[in-house]
Amino acid sequence: KALQSLIWEKNKVLFKGDQIHDVVITPKKQITDERGKIMHLMKSTDLAFQKFGEVYVSCGYPGVVKAWHIHTKMTINDCCIKGMIKLVIYDCRKESSTYGNLMEINMGEDNYCSVKIPPGLANGYKAYGSELAYLINCADLPHEKEELIYIDPFENDIPYDWELKHG
């Protein structure tokens, strides 16, 4: 499979791997001045917005892997507002035209964007850098333990290695 990347004009929204059907990467606006900044997250007018279910924050220490999760009903919209993470998405939907595709998105303060992840995709992240990373999820449904599938981050059938890739 060919390596693909997407680049927007002002924001460096990049992904590595192959596009996955229904995953939407959206550059987010930051308004800064001498007082601080405003970081846009989600508007009801955004193409990725479906409906409001809940918002929560997942925090990860540098080097920690928080994966794999598959939501069977919930659409999530991830946005890293502090620190940096590598978000990885794997299409394990057998009926999908992009079945088996894998995407890596480096996101956070240096690449401010949101990523819409529909139900049925395995996803997780690894925090990197020198500080705690804060990942906000604006989901379309309230959390239900029954609709979430957990998979071990290292021992599984997903063709991905979380180790740092040098070179």
Nearest to 77 by CA among 128, 113, 38, 39: 113
- Residues 114/26, Cβ–Cβ less than 8 Å: yes
Beta strands (DSSP E) in the chain are 16-17, 24-27, 30-33, 36-39, 54-60, 65-71, 76-82, 84-91, 102-108, 113-117, 121-128, 133-139, 148-150
List per-residue pLDDT tens for the chain, 167 residues long: 333 444 444 445 568 888 899 998 888 989 999 999 999 998 888 888 889 999 999 999 999 999 999 999 999 999 999 999 999 999 999 999 999 999 999 999 989 999 999 999 999 999 999 999 999 999 999 999 999 999 999 999 999 999 988 87
CB hemisphere CA count around 2 (13 angstroms)? 2
CA distance 154 to 91: 17
Look at residue 4 in the predicted model and tell me its pLDDT: 40
Look at residue 26 in the predicted model and tell me its pLDDT: 87
Look at residue 94 in the predicted model and tell me its pLDDT: 96
- CA-only gyration radius of the chain, Å: 15
